[in-house]
Amino acid sequence: MPPGIAPRDARARRFLFWTGLAALVGLSWLYLVRMNVGMSAAMSAMARPAMAMRPGWREFSAAFLMWTVMMAAMMGPTLPRMLSLFMDMTARRSPGVSTSGRAAAFAGGYFVVWTGFAAIAAVAQTALMRATLLTPMAQSASAALSAGVLLAAGAFQFTALKEACLVKCRTPLGFLLAEWRDGAAGAFAMGLGHGRFCVGCCWALMAVMFVVGAMNLLWMATLTVVVLGEKLAPPSWRLRHAIGATLLGLGIFVAACLVVR
């Protein structure tokens, strides 16, 4: 510990850090619940044909806020294992520094990447709503769109890119040893790197929200569990393949129904 900072103070800072992360996730879910209950009218306004001739900043802003909070709520629970190991390694490599401060920088970089993803998702949502391919609750109104998203998400589960990114997320020690950077700026850069791998691993699963409804709380919770399961399950379980097969099966079913009709 640096002079003047007692071990008890370091423990208190760690406690505050974990409490803050838990509060961020909890408040994000609370916001999503309140939005789901009370903002249907605002989502309907985003889909009105009259809005199609306007620049669309209101639609984009509402969607961007929703996706940003959604990513904090869904991806925040995947961070503790990585951050706990990062803090332990920081304490060993740099005795005397604030491990909670470095962890906050790491988490900041991680969420910056997911905020970027939220911006892309918001652009996609706004465009799809203008094309009347999504309902006011940001759920697919097109069987063709649903089939395409499900098939693409399912196929991605079997790709080498999915496996490469998932390995980085599944083995935090390997990631930290390979990507280690010293200092707060280094921690932020590592958070950016981890965030990129995480987005690379999970973007297709997040796209499924356009099929089931981006405001659907049950599916938000379900996909959160799926993402956690992929990162925590042993490789021998081949969970990503099972998820991929399920998505492909659903996509084929929807496509078949479209053809029959």
Neighbours of 30 (CB within 10 A): 12
What is the Cα–Cα distance from 39 to 93, expressed in whole angstroms? 48
Q: Is the pLDDT of residue 209 over 60?
A: yes
Give the model's pLDDT for residue 152: 98
The residue among 253 and 236 whose pLDDT is bigger is: 253
Considering the chain, what percentage of its residues have pLDDT values greater than 70? 90
Average pLDDT, the chain: 90
Q: What does the buried/exposed string (b/e) look like for 95-131 if buried means 16 or more CB atoms within 10 Å of the residue's CB? A: eebbbbebbbbbbebbbebbebbbeebbeebbebbbe
Give the model's pLDDT for residue 137: 85
Neighbours of 179 (CB within 10 A): 15
Q: At 134, phi and psi to the nearest 5?
A: -125, 150
pLDDT (tens digit per residue) in 75-129: 999 999 999 999 999 999 988 888 999 999 999 999 999 999 999 999 999 999 9
Considering the chain, what percentage of its residues have pLDDT values greater than 90? 78
Give the model's pLDDT for residue 1: 42
What is the Cα–Cα distance from 135 to 58, expressed in whole angstroms? 17
- Which tokens in the block code for residue 39? 């903002």
The residue among 98 and 196 whose pLDDT is bigger is: 196
Reported as a pLDDT band with limits 50, 70 and 90, residue 7 is low
| Chain centroid, CA 37 distance in Å | 22
Q: Taking residues 218-223, what's their average pLDDT?
A: 95
Helix, strand, coil share of the chain (percent; to 5): 80, 0, 15
Give the model's pLDDT for residue 119: 97
Residue type, 100: S
Closest listed residue to residue 123, CA positions, set 177, 57, 79, 182: 57
Give the model's pLDDT for residue 50: 41
Note the pTM of the prediction, 2 decimals: 0.89
Reported as a pLDDT band with limits 50, 70 and 90, residue 144 is very high
Closest listed residue to residue 47, CA positions, set 111, 181, 182, 138: 138
Give the model's pLDDT for residue 245: 98
Reported as a pLDDT band with limits 50, 70 and 90, residue 242 is very high
